[in-house]
Structure 1
Amino acid sequence: MRVPLSIAAIAVILAFSPNAVMAATKTVKECDAEYAANKDAIKGSGQTKKDFVASCRAGSEVVPAGAAAAPAAVTPAKSTAAGNVKTAKECDAEYAANKDAIKGSGQTKKDFVASCRSGSEVIPGGAAAAAPATVAPTAAAPAGAGGVKTAKECDTEYSANKAAIKGSGQTKKDFVASCRAGTETIPGAQSTTAAPQPAKPAPTVTTTPSKNVQAKTVPAPSATTVPTGANQFATEAQAKARCPSSTVVWVNLKSKIFHFAGNRNYGTTKSGAYICETDATAEGFRAAENEKQPQ
């Protein structure tokens, strides 16, 4: 038969080992954090939160093997506040920065903040996969006193990157909270401005001579051509001006024979001149025997 200990006996035990009970007893906050970290496995075993916390306080809690199914990659908690205890604001910011991954693991914001405050929060490895592949550096907004940005500065930063932030699924409230904590990320917004196309060179206009217009080549007068008679000219144009309706010929002043245009001797003999055919005949010149007047 067990004999109940008297109050005096209990006092003696506590006097000799005051740390034995204190060391074996967890706080409610610690048990809440332990429950939050293994929530799915504990609920899957049929335990309620109340039962688990009670057994945890007594040091007899059992965490089912299913807890091992939690994501392997755990982001170590940042110890920024005094005594390694984070403020509620810091935990809110941490939740906002990893909201999708935390919600995907089944944790509520309340559970996450509770475990964060106790320093036992876990951020599922999916947070890395959910983050945009390219993250642009945070715009260099002027930091407030002590390196903490003001709400106004964070509002301005949100406005400047609104489209990219909304596209990543963050709300303004979440962004401002993480901005105030200095943990905001601004996804790299893809430029929607098309690269300027190089100007097309102006088309080259090539003028093709009409098929019906043939260039008329007028032989240059011989270097030794010296017209000596009346109505004899050094150029075909001068002769044509005298007789617009008549034929202009080239007379060889030495042989007294004239040639029609198109003949190889037209305008090429060493001594000669351009002259109207009527004037050539009148002056006693004669046409070459093997040439005919052009039609």
Structure 2
Amino acid sequence: MKRKNKGFTLVEIIVVLLIIAILAAIAIPACQGYIEESRESRDLFNIRTACTDIIAMGKTGYKTDIVREVELTQKKDDWQAFDSVTIAGITHKKSDPDTDNWKGIPKAGGVCEISYNKEKNTVVFNWKGSKTEESTIDFSSNLHSALNNSGLLENDLKNRDFFEIDSKCDGSTMVPELNKQIENKSLLNHGTWAYYGNAKKGKESERYLFWTSIDTDKINANTQIPVIISTADGKFYISSSTTARKRKDSAHKPYIAIAPTGKSGSSQYKSYIDGKKQYNTLEEAYKAYADVVKNDYSNYKDTLPQ
């Protein structure tokens, strides 16, 4: 008796599955290759566009060196689709070593730092890994935790309308207490910092942390520098301040503070953040700060912690 409804036998199903597996093994890598080539092409387009912009800026009166970072979308280290790449007249092959204008190789999810030196009329491409991978900073840490955990607000500074703690102050008894509380990957391990403001409870918006990547021991008073300002109620701002020469007393050495001290108490620091863009996280603020340093204070760009 003949079967009216013929179906696939087990052997036939296995054969079909094997054919599909073979086709997939051939097609998927090829497809992935096309996708990676598309990512690399997009990265090159973005880099060339940024490069054209900064060269144009440099030739139209921009006074300082210019630095831009372009985030890469490629998922593999080095070029997969190109053996030779030319950007702004600079050609580099995969087999070539680093040169004065080309440093490193593209990294998966990394960045290309493009810098233009106006004086030399040259462009430099510095290929780096992802910021998260390279960072020595824990951007989730609270910049005010050192002060909050030191016990100073409950003791030495209790009920004071105004206080000032400069990290560079020679002879300070409070700076050592704060240093004990600073975490290993805190931003406060770099550069110069200071706490200013009102120590009373409920006055957190009048309590400020100033931070700069610059070591003020190495610069003069009356020098304008970029700063991140963090208020104790969790807000961040990018501003600038003018360094000031200070001294605890005649028994101690003078030092260069991150900002001057006036006679109007904690209210004097509000002017530093009035009209400034507010950032909700330290990571956002630091990224904006780094851009300001690279573009407006390029002589300090090497002070930026990675």
Pick the TM interval, shorter chain.
under 0.3
- TM-score, L = length of structure 1: 0.22
Q: Which has the larger radius of gyration?
A: 1
**Higher helix residue share:** 1
- TM-score, L = length of structure 2: 0.22
